[in-house]
Structure 1
Amino acid sequence: MTTCEPGTDPAVLADGFVFAEGPRWRDGLLWLSDMHGEAVYTVDPDGRIEVRLALPGRKPSGLGFLPSGSVLVVSMTDRVLLRLDPDGTCSVHARLDALVTDELNDMVVAADGTAFVGSYPTGDDTGVLIRVDPDGTAAVAADGMRFPNGSAISPDGRTLIVAESKARCLTAFDLDPGGRLSGRRVVADDLGAAPDGIALDAEGAVWAAFPLAHEFRRISPGGEVTDRIATGERMAIACALGGADRRTLYLLSAANWHAATLAGARTSVVETLRVRVAGAGLP
Structure 2
Amino acid sequence: MPDALDVLVDGLTFPEGPRWHDGRLWFSDFYSYSVLAVDAGGKLETIVEVPQRPSGLGWTRDGRLLIVSMLDRKLLGLDGTTLTPVADLSALASGPCNDMVVDSQGRAYVGNFGFDRHKGEAQRTTCIVRVDPDGTVTKAADDLLFPNGTVITPDGKTLIVGETFAHRLTAFDVAADGTLSNPRLWARVEGCYPDGICLDAEGAIWVSDPFGHRLLRVFEGGRIAREIPLAPRGAYACMLGGDDRRTLFVCTNSGSGPSIADKRDGRIETLRVDVPGAGWP
TM-score w.r.t. the length of structure 1 is 0.94
In 1, the alpha carbon distance for the partners of 2:182 and 2:94 equals 26
* Paired-residue identity, %: 47
Q: Which residue of 2 aligns with 1:248?
A: 247
Q: Which residue of 1 aligns with 2:119?
A: none
Q: Does 1:36 align with 2:35?
A: no
Q: Which residue of 1 aligns with 2:265?
A: 267
Pairwise mapping of residues 1-283 of structure 1 onto structure 2 (< 5 A)? 5=1, 7=2, 9-56=4-51, 58-85=52-79, 87-122=80-115, 123-259=122-258, 261-283=259-281
In 1, the alpha carbon distance for the partners of 2:238 and 2:97 equals 19
In 2, the alpha carbon distance for the partners of 1:177 and 1:47 equals 39
Kept after mapping to 2: 8 A contact 1:37/1:264: no
Q: Displacement of 1:256 after TM fit?
A: 1.3
RMSD: 1.2
Report the count of equivalent residues.
Answer: 275
Q: Displacement of 1:55 after TM fit?
A: 2.1
Deviation >6 Å, runs of 4+: none
Q: Displacement of 1:88 after TM fit?
A: 2.0
Q: Displacement of 1:33 after TM fit?
A: 0.4
Deviations 1:177-233 (A, max 9, x none): 100001110010143221000000000000010010011110023421111122222
Q: Displacement of 1:37 after TM fit?
A: 2.0
In 1, the alpha carbon distance for the partners of 2:28 and 2:93 equals 22
In 2, the alpha carbon distance for the partners of 1:232 and 1:124 equals 26
- 1:234 to 1:8, Cα distance in 2 relative to 1, 3 A: closer
Q: Displacement of 1:263 after TM fit?
A: 4.0
In 2, the alpha carbon distance for the partners of 1:121 and 1:62 equals 16
In 2, the alpha carbon distance for the partners of 1:212 and 1:237 equals 9
In 2, the alpha carbon distance for the partners of 1:53 and 1:255 equals 25
TM-score w.r.t. the length of structure 2 is 0.95
Kept after mapping to 2: 8 A contact 1:196/1:209: yes
- 1:11 to 1:157, Cα distance in 2 relative to 1, 3 A: same
Tell me the secondary structure at the aligned position of residue 257 of structure 1. coil
Q: Displacement of 1:44 after TM fit?
A: 0.6
- 1:190 to 1:228, Cα distance in 2 relative to 1, 3 A: closer
Name structure 2 gaps, 5 residues minimum.
Answer: 116-121
Q: Displacement of 1:267 after TM fit?
A: 1.0
Tell me the secondary structure at the aligned position of residue 31 of structure 2. coil
In 1, the alpha carbon distance for the partners of 2:100 and 2:46 equals 20
Deviations 1:150-188 (A, max 9, x none): 000000101000000111000000001100001110010
